[in-house]
Amino acid sequence: MWRVLGLLFLLLTVTGFPATAETLTGRVVGVHDGDTLTQLVDGRQQVKVRLAGIDAPELAQPYGQQAKQALSGLAFGKEARVESAGPDRYGRTLGTVFVGAVNVNAALVEQGAAWVYRQYPHDPMLPGLESQAQTAKRGLWALQSDQRCPPWDWRHKDPCGSPMVFKALEPEPPIVAGRCGAKSTCGEMASCEEARFYLKECGLSRLDGDKDGMPCEALCR
């Protein structure tokens, strides 16, 4: 009880989100990456949920695909409860996901499938779980140190997040000019670079829904 109230207070004071608690229940019908899923609420409304307090490797990073698989294993196709205090800046519902008695956010950190997102409010038990995973070399903590890059650095292109470094480690299928139209949705894109190619070179404007020049913001955030 006090943990939830504390989280709501931090969300209000630190992020500016309205401290309006909301509980969503429904089946998880999609998993986008290691910290974002889609929940079907009331059998008809699809809600995109960003797991609060954690940050999983991006899909193009080492352990990114494994992190997505970890979230899928915990939640996909299952009835879930989301405790939310409001949206994030991208309009996604920000919250803690529970499947039965399992706190999915915490389970991902415990498995080494996600970092604690210290830039934003988080459950105070998460750093301890992260420390345990690191000591036990679980998940991403089993990677070589030069393969581990916090995703917030990766997204901002800090030195450890240079895409050129990780392309060498995990080659992606090349984008072949002249093959526009093979893909049509953000869910089919393997990387931000591929989404940019389809937007700029193929004119696939649907990838830029808010018309800000940035395609598939879940990939290019």
Contact 48, 38 (CB under 8 A): yes
Q: How far is Cα 126 from Cα 35, in angstroms, rounded to an integer? A: 15
One of 27, 79, 92, 193 is an active-site residue; which one?
A: 92
Name the region of 91 (left: φ>0; alpha: ψ -120 to 50; beta: rest).
left
How far from 23 is each of 41, 80, 82, CA to CA, in Å?
A: 10, 10, 6
- Catalytic hit among 50, 83, 194, 217: 50
Active-site residue among 3, 22, 44, 58?
Answer: 58
| Element (DSSP H or E) covering residue 111 | helix 104-111
CA atoms within 13 A on the CB side of 36: 21
* Cα–Cα distance for residue pair 36/91, rounded to 1 Å: 12
138 is catalytic: no
As given in the structure block, the two tokens for residue 76 are 């996909």
Spatial separation of the C-alpha atoms in residues 136 and 130, rounded to whole Å: 10
Greatest extent of the chain over all pairs of C-alpha atoms, in Å: 57
Crossing angle of helices 104-111 and 126-136, in 10° steps, is 30
Q: 62 in helix, strand or coil?
A: coil
- The reply to whether 50 belongs to the active site is yes
As annotated, the active-site residues are 50, 58, 92
